[in-house]
Amino acid sequence: MTESTDMKNIKKSLFIWTISIPIILASIYFCFGQKAFILAVSFIVIILIGMGIMRKIYAQALVLVGGCVLLLIAAFLFPDSTITSASSGSKVIDVFMEIKNVFSKNIASLGLIIMVIAGFSRYMNDIGASGKLVEICVKPLGRLKSRYMLLGGCYILMQLLALFISSPSGLALLMMSTLYPILRSIGCSKASVAAVIASGICIDYGPSATGSILIAEITGYDLFSFFVEKQIPIVWILFIFIGVMHMFVQAYWDKKETVSLQDDDLLMHQQASPEKSALSICPPPNNPHDTSFYIF
Domain map of the chain by residue range?
2-81, 136-269
Q: From residue 78, give the alpha-carbon distance in Å to each of 22, 66, 75.
A: 19, 18, 5
CA–CA dist 289, 254 (Å, integer):
43
The pLDDT assigned to 258 comes to 73
The pLDDT assigned to 294 comes to 33
The pLDDT assigned to 288 comes to 43
CA–CA dist 291, 202 (Å, integer):
63
The pLDDT assigned to 260 comes to 53
CB-CB neighbours of 92 under 10 Å? 13
CA–CA dist 105, 111 (Å, integer):
9
CA–CA dist 224, 173 (Å, integer):
28
| Ranges of H-type helices in the chain | 2-32, 34-54, 59-77, 91-106, 112-126, 129-142, 147-161, 168-185, 190-199, 210-219, 223-226, 232-272, 274-281
The pLDDT assigned to 241 comes to 93
For 236-268, give the DSSP string: HHHHHHHHHHHHHHHHHHHHHHHHHHHHHHHHH
CA–CA dist 183, 142 (Å, integer):
10
Is 254:192 a contact under the CB 8 Å cutoff?
yes
Intervals of the chain under pLDDT 50: 1, 261, 263-296
The pLDDT assigned to 3 comes to 53
